[in-house]
Amino acid sequence: QVQLVESGGGLVQPGGSLRLSCAASGSMFRSYTMGWHRQVPGKERESVAGIGSGGSTNYADSVKGRFTISRDNAKNTVSLQMNSLKPEDTAVYYCCVVVGAKVYWGQGTQVTVSS
């Protein structure tokens, strides 16, 4: 059973920064693709960033150059550094892990960008 717990959300002013972290259970963590998605009420959940087992990364066009995803396999964590935040980044952010054909999700953490 894979369990994911996010932390680090909160309220930040436009232009500010936040760092989200996700702690994962499981001994095979290093073998899995990890990612961050976000969702606002009334809209579909969208992919923000992903990182493969080998460290390759991909980003949504809307966050390229502002967000950085990273992983620490020794600590079973994946992080999302978010800089130059905009009001449109406001959403619930979810950590996820892909295990074969199944995707596991964390409970989500709220990020609000507002002055």
Say if residue 88's pLDDT is above 70: yes
Report DSSP letters for 55-106, one per residue: S-EEE-TTTTTTEEEEEETTTTEEEEEE-S--GGG-EEEEEEEEETTEEEE-
Say if residue 104's pLDDT is above 70: yes
Tell me the pLDDT band of 112, cut-offs 50, 70 and 90.
very high
Express as a percent the part of the chain with pLDDT over 70. Answer: 99
Mean pLDDT of the chain: 94
How far, in Å, CA of 63 to CA of 86, rounded? 10
Say if residue 1's pLDDT is above 80: no
Position 109 scores a pLDDT of: 97
Q: Rounded mean pLDDT of 81-108?
A: 95
Q: Are 63 and 48 in contact (CB under 8 A)?
A: yes
Kindly tell me the burial class for residue 94, based on how many C-beta atoms sit within 10 Å of its own C-beta (0-12, 13-18, 19 or more).
buried
pLDDT in tens, 5-55: 999 999 999 999 999 999 998 767 888 999 999 999 999 999 999 999 999
CA angle in degrees (0–180, nearest 5) for 65-24-27? 120
Q: Are 38 and 95 in contact (CB under 8 A)?
A: no
Phi, psi of 109 (to 5 degrees): -140, 135
Position 27 scores a pLDDT of: 66
